[in-house]
Amino acid sequence: GAGVSQTPSNKVTEKGKYVELRCDPISGHTALYWYRQSLGQGPEFLIYFQGTGAADDSGLPNDRFFAVRPEGSVSTLKIQRTERGDSAVYLCASSFAGGGTDTQYFGPGTRLTVL
């Protein structure tokens, strides 16, 4: 089947604007993850969903960041009042069951540029 997909692939916005990034996980995967990757760095964990609920949001940097997964499939990462420091590639991943024992499969990412 299809892999993890993310839209848009690129997003350019102005400082202070609101953005939404979308992730479609692999069909049947109950666990979904968001990571953020800055240039030259490894991905940094943001949030993990098991089903519809956020099981671990310890990586969200502040209250401008919020994510939802209302039906346990598609997830949206929402960033309010964007800042230039939010510029990065936002990666989504999914895994079959979560629990930390199975492979995480990553999407191609959304490159966010805040001007």
Partner 1 sequence: KQEVTQIPAALSVPEGENLVLNCSFTDSAIYNLQWFRQDPGKGLTSLLLIQSSQREQTSGRLNASLDKSSGRSTLYIAASQPGDSATYLCAAPGYGGATNKLIFGTGTLLAVQP
Among 12, 61, 85, 102, binds partner 1 (CB under 8 A): 102
- From residue 22, alpha-carbon distances to 7, 40, 68, 92, 100 in Å are 5, 24, 10, 9, 23
- For partner 1, the closer CB: 12 or 55: 55
- From residue 84, alpha-carbon distances to 33, 103, 115 in Å are 23, 32, 6
- Is 106 a binder of partner 1 (CB under 8 A)? yes
Q: Residues with Cβ < 8 Å from 39, sequence gap 6 or more?
A: 88
- Report the site for partner 1 in 46-85 (rule: CB under 8 A): 48, 50, 55-56, 58-59
Minimum CB distance to partner 1, residue 4 (Å): 8
- The footprint of partner 1 on this chain (CB under 8 A) covers a number of residues equal to 31
Under the rule (CB under 8 A), what is the footprint of partner 1?
A: 4, 31, 33, 35, 40-45, 48, 50, 55-56, 58-59, 91, 93, 95, 98-109
